[in-house]
Amino acid sequence: SQHAQQNGNKLVYIQDAERLTEAAANALLKTLEEPRPNTYFLLQTEPSSSLLATIYSRCQVWNVPLPTEAEALTWLSSQFQAETSELLTALAMNLGRPLLALETLRQGLIEQRKNFLRQFWLFYRRRSPLEILPFFEKERTVQQVDWILAFLSDAIKYKLEIQNGWQTLDLKTGVTQFADEQTALGLLTANKIMQKVRSDLLTINGVNTELMLLDGLTKLITDVFKD
């Protein structure tokens, strides 16, 4: 309800708009239906995310295209000093998005992801959630689940002989070995289980995060890795 002292336009930016609860989305909808003068809303969401249809219908959609790999690589190399292979890995991890790739490089997330997925491998081999559960970090849990999902997704692509769009090319040996020991249906089931864990982490409040993770990891063992 407030504007700048100079009485100019006001911009309201909502990042990850798909994470709004139903109550929050409905409250926002009322504002969108009757906005105050000179007020603009910018909602950011992933293309694959589910946004409330009534909100979506009241927005003008702008799809922001990705730069080509060559363009992204040239820009990244001007922002961060690293081997080309490392820059390409950062881009692959972030589906070609250079700003997120730069953040990945600056935070050293390539090595962190590699170490975390080593623990996932031990969890898989030993069928024990205790091999990976203590390595989930409170502030990075969803991202770590995304790392597992990327590993599973690439295993499915390998199984189906899809060569493009891999996120874990730097771990291809482990991915292929893992995929060779699974069925395509099993990999799809594993992906569905971890997608459910991710969704629960984002939408369910008041439940112990560790319990949600343990439930998903246990289902991987009983439903996918049981043989």
Contact 77, 87 (CB under 8 A): yes
* Same domain flag for 146 and 208: yes
Tell whether 85 is covered by a domain: yes
Tell whether 61 is covered by a domain: no
* Same domain flag for 102 and 115: no
* Same domain flag for 161 and 81: no
Cα Rg of the chain, angstroms: 21
Residue range 24-81, pLDDT digits in tens: 888 888 888 887 888 889 999 877 667 888 888 888 988 888 999 999 999 999 999 9
11: Cβ–Cβ under 8 A, 6 or more apart, which residues?
A: 40, 41, 42
Q: 70: buried, middle or exposed (CB in 10 Å: 19+, 13-18, 0-12)?
A: exposed
* Same domain flag for 88 and 168: no
149: Cβ–Cβ under 8 A, 6 or more apart, which residues?
A: 191, 194, 195, 198
Give the count of domains, the chain.
3
* Same domain flag for 195 and 115: yes
Residue range 166-223, pLDDT digits in tens: 999 899 999 999 999 999 999 999 999 999 999 899 888 767 999 999 999 999 999 9
* Same domain flag for 217 and 124: yes
Tell whether 63 is covered by a domain: no
Tell whether 64 is covered by a domain: no
- Model pTM? 0.82
* Same domain flag for 151 and 88: no
CA–centroid distance for 58 within its chain = 26
Owning domain of residue 37: 10-56
CATH number of domain containing 205 = 1.20.272.10
